């Protein structure tokens, strides 16, 4: 089952009954967290057995389904807390600060034509939330293959999740193999006997990371005497950085997927799991794996949603091997990979050829065949270039959950 959250804004402010509900819900979640911590319980059922009766007394008028869902949210928090406290000793006791509430799909009604949510608060009291519906939202509301999942209400917006069964991936007629680098995806596109280089560039992501890093450093220096302010400001910087980068990653992923969908390509990516570098702290930060992993996550997720096959391959030695004769190169190389047998190619593209060969040799790319010797050195296809990315700055409304 695939799940996608879609952000909606409301035509008017949340009605006051709704605001009270958010406050009650937060209180219930925090109470449940406390009860769970005391009893060392993290499963929802255990928590329910333990605390439901008291809860009913403390929140006598709250809609029962919401109370159950508060347990659910508390459980998520407790589980995270347990995971974190296993890793390190000093962890903050979990506490939900922001106003929110979550309703399971039986606990609210959404009229998919008009975009009006009917949210029960307690017996005899419902609120109506009128959503602003754009064309982007219509795509989800009108698609009856999608069923409704949970609803999250926040003071300024709501998130509706849509669910569907994962479509069966198509049988690939071509392949798109991509090597993921700090500033670009470089790779090859193979269709029949044609092998061409492809590129999707995102140089601004590294620049944004650097800029925000510098800013955080400056803030920390300036506010050394006020740790609370420093922490808050740094957090704000972090959120901004994530939003700006996320926006760009989605655009890159979308263009890659559009290309793959039109040409019925399987996508081959390196498996970034387990890669740990033993470099200096500074270099590590600069080459942070985070945006790359995130990019893979987005590509994989969106591909699943669209039924595009994605193959992940162990990248070991992919940048050192000659795809023609199989020799391994141990000396340092520049931007070009050159082999004794006469083969030479851009280092990153060479790596993507090796990824594709691994995928094919393991039978992971359907019945595709591929001859690296047929590589066309003079042709380059651009999947994404930042100039095409329209605005250089995202505005506030281009959701966090996905720009499609
Ligand atoms: Zn060679």
Cβ neighbours of 70 (radius 10 Å): 28
pLDDT for 65 equals 87
Taking the centre of ligand 1 as the mean of its atom positions, its distance from the CA of residue 350, in whole angstroms, is 11
> pLDDT tens-digit profile of 356-391?
988 888 877 666 777 877 788 777 888 888 765 444
pTM over 0.85: no
179 CA from centroid of ligand 1 (Å): 20
pLDDT at 148: 94
CA of 348 to the centre of ligand 1 (A): 16
Q: Separation of 278 CA from ligand 1 center, angstroms?
A: 29
Q: Which two tokens stand for residue 101?
A: 């509430």
175 and 265 Cβ atoms separated by less than 8 Å: yes
pLDDT-derived band at 278, boundaries 50, 70, 90: low
Q: Give 325 Cα–ligand 1 centroid separation in angstroms.
A: 4
**pLDDT, tens only, 10-64:** 998 888 888 999 998 999 899 889 988 888 888 888 888 888 888 888 878 888 8
pLDDT number for residue 222 = 87
CA of 337 to the centre of ligand 1 (A): 10
d(CA 352, CA 180): 9
Which residue, among 279, 276, 298, 302, has the nearest Cα to 289 in the 3D structure?
A: 276
User: Ligand 1 centre and the CA of 310: distance in Å?
Assistant: 28
Nearest to 318 by CA among 372, 246, 281, 385: 372
Q: At residue 198, what are phi and psi to the nearest 5 degrees?
A: -130, 160
Element (H, E) at 197: strand 194-201
Ligand 1 centroid, distance to 113 Cα (angstroms):
61
- Quick one: which H or E segment has residue 185? strand 184-191
Q: What is the pLDDT of residue 253?
A: 95
How far is it, in rounded angstroms, from Cα 375 to Cα 317? 20
pLDDT of residue 2 exceeding 50, the answer is yes
CA of 329 to the centre of ligand 1 (A): 9
Residue for token pair 């390196």: 270
Distance between Cα 324 and ligand 1 center (Å): 5
CB burial string 100-134: b at 16+ within 10 A, e below: bbbbeeebbebebeebebebbbbeeeebebebebe
Q: What are phi and psi of 147, to 5 degrees?
A: -105, 160
pLDDT tens by residue, 218-252: 888 888 888 888 888 888 888 999 999 999 999 99
- Mind giving me the DSSP string for 9-56? EBSSPPPHHHHHHHHHHHHHHHHHHHHHHHHT--SHHHHHHHHHHHHH
Ligand 1 center–CA 373 separation, angstroms: 11
Share of the chain above pLDDT 70, in %: 91
CA of 326 to the centre of ligand 1 (A): 6
Positions of E strands within 58-143: 101-103, 109-111, 116-122, 125-130
Q: What is the DSSP letter of 321?
A: B
pLDDT value for 1: 86
| Helices and strands of the chain, counted as H and E runs | 9, 15
Gap from CA of 338 to ligand 1 centroid (Å) = 8
Ligand 1 centroid vs 141 CA: distance in angstroms? Answer: 54
pLDDT for res 402: 35
Distance 362 CA to ligand 1 centre (A): 21
> How much distance in Å is there from the Cα of 352 to the middle of ligand 1?
15
284: confidence class by pLDDT, cuts 50, 70, 90: low
pLDDT of residue 279: 56
Measure 376 CA to ligand 1 centroid, in angstroms: 17
Mean pLDDT, rounded, of the chain = 85
Place of tokens 């754009």: 134
The confidence score (pLDDT) of residue 91 equals 77
Cα(48) to centroid(ligand 1), Å: 64
């Amino acid at each position: 089952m695939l799940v996608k959250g879609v952000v909606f804004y409301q035509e008017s402010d949340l009605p006051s009954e709704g605001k009270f509900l958010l406050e009650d819900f937060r209180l219930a979640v925090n109470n449940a967290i406390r009860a769970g911590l005391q009893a060392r319980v993290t499963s929802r059922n255990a928590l329910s057995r333990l605390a439901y009766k008291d809860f009913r007394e403390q929140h006598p008028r709250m809609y029962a389904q919401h109370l159950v869902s508060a347990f659910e949210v508390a459980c998520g928090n407790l589980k995270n807390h347990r995971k974190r406290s296993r890793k390190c000793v000093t962890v903050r006791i979990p506490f939900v600060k922001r106003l929110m509430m979550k309703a399971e799909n039986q606990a609210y009604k959404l009229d998919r034509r008009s975009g009006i949510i009917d949210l029960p608060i307690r017996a005899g009291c419902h609120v109506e939330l009128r959503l602003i519906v754009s064309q982007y939202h219509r795509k989800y509301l009108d698609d009856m293959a999608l069923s409704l999942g949970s609803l999250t209400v926040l003071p300024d917006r709501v998130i509706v999740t849509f669910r569907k069964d994962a479509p069966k991936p198509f049988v690939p007629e071509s392949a798109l193999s991509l090597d993921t680098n700090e500033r670009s995806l470089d790779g090859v596109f193979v269709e029949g006997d044609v092998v061409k280089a492809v590129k999707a560039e995102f140089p601004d992501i590294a620049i944004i990371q650097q800029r925000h890093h510098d800013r955080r450093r400056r803030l920390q220096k300036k506010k050394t005497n006020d740790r609370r302010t420093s922490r808050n400001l740094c957090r704000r910087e972090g959120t901004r950085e994530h939003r700006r980068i996320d926006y760009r990653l989605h655009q890159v992923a979308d263009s890659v997927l559009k290309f793959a969908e039109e040409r019925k390509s399987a996508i081959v990516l390196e498996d970034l799991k387990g890669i740990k570098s033993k470099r200096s702290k500074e270099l590590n930060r600069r080459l942070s794996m985070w945006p790359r992993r995130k990019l893979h996550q987005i590509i994989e997720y969106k591909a699943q949603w669209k039924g595009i096959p994605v193959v992940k391959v162990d990248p070991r030695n992919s940048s050192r091997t000659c795809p023609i004769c199989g020799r391994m190169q141990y000396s340092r190389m520049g931007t070009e990979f050159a082999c004794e047998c006469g083969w030479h190619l851009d280092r990153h593209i060479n790596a993507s050829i090796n990824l594709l060969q691994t995928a094919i040799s393991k039978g992971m790319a359907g019945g595709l065949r591929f001859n690296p010797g047929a590589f066309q050195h003079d042709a380059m296809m651009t999947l994404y270039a930042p100039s095409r990315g329209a605005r250089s700055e995202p505005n506030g409304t281009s959701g966090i959950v996905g720009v499609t």
